[in-house]
């Protein structure tokens, strides 16, 4: 018997015999009173109708529960623990792995009958909400790890450089599948950029791909664009899903306004985008010596965007979103990588 397992048995003994708790997770010798079940990440998943506290996570597996109230049961448990500590615990309790362990890829996805609703989160709440209140379920071990304490590949994260070393060429290319919009062709502006700290537009290039065009602040040219492109490649290598980001040098006259395009002014009022307003915006963008603009072109990802996710809780309209976000290992690690 391993020292770790023997220590846990003595922890049960201490809590039950000396009265610290009457309810502890240990398999009943006669009847399993309650249980959790193994989730698709190898974690214990609590049904949403089941109250918290009715199951105990043991290394990402369900642990059966029992209540020990009588003196007879207490001393019977002492005898069981003493026998168990000498190496005679049944093989059923010693088993820690399942036939499919370790789970490397999460493919157990449930069909979503109705499309999740589109949401929009407040930037102000996202930045300052945690200052005044604690959100989520707090600490504890991550729930979406396998028996090797690693995060399986999923729609949230894919192990890349840490599992299979990428070549230098792959690291440089990152998530890019194209070379970005053609700077010598017209860029059709169809919408202004509505989020973020820097100004910009949304354009359609000559092959029909859509991009968000971002400009550097005139006081610090190349700072924002370089940081975004470099960080994109780093986070992609780690395993996160990122958009294609390209540095493109384009002439101001290549921007062509689509009819009906609007621009939000400094007061939040939508106004029709005209050539004069476009020229005024581009006047505040840093220029290269030859007059071209150095911009970041972020390619639209596949599918239809329905909004960002919160870093805590789950979405009630997504049956595949079962792990509270604050207990996802890849989101916790994001804090370290972004520090």
DSSP state of 84: I
Residue 272 has pLDDT above 80, yes or no: yes
Tell me the C-alpha to C-alpha distance, in Å, between residue 282 and each of 180, 202, 215, 250, 255.
20, 14, 9, 12, 10
The reply to whether 112 and 208 lie within a common domain is: yes
Q: What are phi and psi of 94, to 5 degrees?
A: -75, -20
Could you read off the pLDDT of 225-252 as tens digits, one per residue? 999 999 999 999 999 999 999 999 999 9
The answer for residues whose C-beta is within 8 angstroms of residue 103's C-beta and 6 or more apart is: 41, 42, 146, 147, 152
The pLDDT, as a whole number, for residue 1 is: 46
Out of 94, 113, 140, a domain closes at 94
Out of 94, 124, 148, a domain closes at 94
53 lies in which domain range? 3-94
- Structure-model confidence comparison of residues 99 and 144, the more confident one: 144
Dump the DSSP string for 134-172.
Answer: --SS--S--SS--TTS-PPB-SS----TTTSPPPHHHHH
- Structure-model confidence comparison of residues 13 and 284, the more confident one: 284
Residue 276 has pLDDT above 80, yes or no: yes
The reply to whether 144 and 253 lie within a common domain is: yes
The reply to whether 213 and 293 lie within a common domain is: yes
The reply to whether 125 and 18 lie within a common domain is: no
- Structure-model confidence comparison of residues 217 and 63, the more confident one: 217
The reply to whether 209 and 311 lie within a common domain is: yes
The reply to whether 109 and 61 lie within a common domain is: no
The pLDDT, as a whole number, for residue 156 is: 93
The reply to whether 12 and 50 lie within a common domain is: yes
- Structure-model confidence comparison of residues 163 and 67, the more confident one: 163
Which residue from 213, 214, 218 is spatially nearest to 203, judged by alpha carbons?
A: 213
Distance CA 242, CA 289 (A): 32
The reply to whether 107 and 254 lie within a common domain is: yes
The reply to whether 85 and 133 lie within a common domain is: no
Distance CA 318, CA 307 (A): 13
Out of 37, 66, 94, a domain closes at 94
Which tokens hold the place of 193?
A: 């950029």
Could you read off the pLDDT of 76-134 as tens digits, one per residue? 444 444 444 445 444 445 556 778 888 899 887 888 888 888 888 776 776 676 677 67
The reply to whether 69 and 31 lie within a common domain is: yes
* Total domains in the fold of the chain: 2
The reply to whether 81 and 154 lie within a common domain is: no
The reply to whether 130 and 88 lie within a common domain is: no
What confidence category does residue 23 fall into, taking pLDDT thresholds of 50, 70 and 90? Answer: very low
């Amino acid at each position: 018997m391993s020292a770790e397992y023997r220590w846990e048995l003595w922890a049960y003994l201490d809590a039950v015999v000396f009265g610290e708790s009457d309810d502890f997770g240990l398999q009943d010798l006669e009847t399993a009173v309650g249980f959790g079940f193994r989730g698709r990440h190898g974690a214990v998943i609590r049904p949403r109708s089941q109250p918290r506290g009715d199951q105990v996570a043991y290394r990402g597996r369900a642990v059966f529960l029992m209540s020990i109230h009588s003196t007879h049961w207490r001393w019977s448990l002492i005898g069981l623990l003493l026998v168990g500590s000498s190496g005679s615990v049944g093989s059923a309790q010693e088993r820690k792995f399942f036939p499919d362990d370790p789970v490397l890829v999460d493919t157990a996805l449930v069909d979503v009958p109705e499309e999740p609703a589109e949401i929009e989160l407040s930037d102000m709440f996202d930045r300052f909400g945690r200052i005044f209140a604690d959100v989520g379920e707090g600490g504890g071990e991550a729930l979406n790890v396998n028996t090797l304490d690693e995060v399986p590949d999923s729609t949230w994260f894919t192990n890349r450089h840490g599992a299979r070393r990428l070549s230098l060429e792959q690291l440089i290319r990152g998530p890019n599948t194209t070379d970005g919009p053609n700077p010598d062709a017209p860029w059709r502006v169809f919408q202004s950029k509505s989020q973020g700290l820097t100004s910009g537009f949304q354009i359609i290039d000559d092959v029909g791909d859509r991009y968000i065009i971002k400009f550097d602040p005139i006081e610090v040219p190349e700072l924002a664009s370089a940081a975004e492109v470099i960080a994109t490649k780093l986070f992609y290598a780690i395993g996160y899903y990122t958009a294609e980001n390209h540095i493109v040098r384009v002439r101001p006259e290549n921007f062509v306004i689509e009819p009906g395009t609007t621009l939000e002014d400094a007061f939040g009022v939508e106004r029709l985008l005209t050539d004069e307003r476009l020229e005024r915006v581009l006047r505040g963008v840093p220029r290269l010596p030859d007059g071209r603009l150095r911009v970041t072109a972020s390619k639209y990802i596949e599918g239809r965007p329905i909004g960002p996710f919160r870093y805590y809780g789950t979405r009630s309209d997504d049956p595949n979103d079962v792990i509270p976000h604050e207990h996802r290992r890849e989101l916790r690690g994001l804090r370290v990588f972004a520090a």
